[in-house]
């Protein structure tokens, strides 16, 4: 597996882990796998981007409903 494919897989795994944590639903075995596989800085970065996107989408939704 090339470096680009490995980083794409790691990015997708990080996005999935953060998305499950936003929902608050995660199996213990999946959580343990994520701890061993994912880097904390990647989780923090994806979490911040996800949080910002969530807030911006809520703002857009409210502006669309009020308009």
Report d(CA 21, CA 25) in Å as an integer.
6
64: part of which helix (H) or strand (E)?
Answer: helix 40-66
Q: What is the pTM of this model?
A: 0.73
Residue 42, class by beta-carbon neighbours within 10 Å (0-12 exposed, 13-18 middle, 19+ buried)? middle
18: part of which helix (H) or strand (E)?
Answer: helix 3-23
Does the structure show a pLDDT above 70 at 3?
Answer: no
Does the structure show a pLDDT above 90 at 66?
Answer: yes
Q: Output the pLDDT for position 50.
A: 93
């Amino acid at each position: 597996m090339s470096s680009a494919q490995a980083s794409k897989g790691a990015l997708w795994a990080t996005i999935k882990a953060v998305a499950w944590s936003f929902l608050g639903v995660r199996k213990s075995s999946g959580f343990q796998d994520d701890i061993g596989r994912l880097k904390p800085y990647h989780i923090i970065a994806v979490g911040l981007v996800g949080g910002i996107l969530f807030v911006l989408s809520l703002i857009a939704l409210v502006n669309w409903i009020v308009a």
